[in-house]
Amino acid sequence: MSKSTITINVQMDEGRVPESITWNASDTTAEHAQRAKAMMLSFWDGSEKTALRIDLWTKDMMIDEMADFFYQTMMTMADSYGRATKQEGTVDDMKKFAKDFYSKFKTQQLKENKAS
């Protein structure tokens, strides 16, 4: 059996707001830690039947980047759910929701940009 270790480092300001996020894995070919502006990490507690989450983003994460991040995360969650369950109808519904979310975001951004 092999083992891999993933390390996440979060640099915070005096108010405990993340300023930088870096991560690396023991079995990667990357020589240096990878930078990230945001992260979502979820664990499933089978005994408690609850999801445990860590959601962090840095001060310089822009709203449009956050929308892209959520859209891409929802799409990949749908793909993962599909691989696990083979429920393509549900996967299609999840992807439709993600696309609707992103479309609403873009429409709102256009309105805000025109107003300013």
Rounded Cα distance, 89 and 18, in Å: 38
80 confidence band (pLDDT: 50, 70, 90): very high
116 confidence band (pLDDT: 50, 70, 90): confident
Residues forming beta bridges with residue 39, ordered by sequence position: 56
Q: Kindly state whether residues 40 and 66 are assigned to the same domain.
A: no
Starting from the edge strand earliest in sequence, which strands make up the sheet with 34-36, in order? 6-12, 18-25, 34-36
What is the pLDDT, as a whole number, of residue 6?
95
Rounded Cα distance, 69 and 58, in Å: 13
Its pTM stands at 0.88
Q: Kindly state whether residues 107 and 69 are assigned to the same domain.
A: yes
Q: Kindly state whether residues 50 and 15 are assigned to the same domain.
A: yes
Q: Kindly state whether residues 10 and 43 are assigned to the same domain.
A: yes
Q: How many domains does the chain have?
A: 2
What is the pLDDT, as a whole number, of residue 56?
97
* Residue-range definition of the domain harbouring residue 96: 62-116
Q: Is the pLDDT of residue 8 over 80?
A: yes
Question: What is the bridge-based pairing of β-strands 6-12 and 34-36?
Answer: unpaired
Q: What is the pLDDT of residues 34-71, one digit of tens each?
A: 999 999 999 999 999 999 999 999 999 999 999 999 99
CA distances to 6, 49, 64, 75, 86 from 34, in Å? 11, 32, 21, 22, 33
Question: Which of 33, 9, 7 minimizes the C-alpha distance to 21?
Answer: 9
**Higher pLDDT pick, 28 / 18:** 18
Q: What is the pLDDT of residues 86-112, one digit of tens each?
A: 999 999 999 999 999 999 999 999 988
Is the CB of residue 23 less than 8 Å from the CB of residue 37?
no
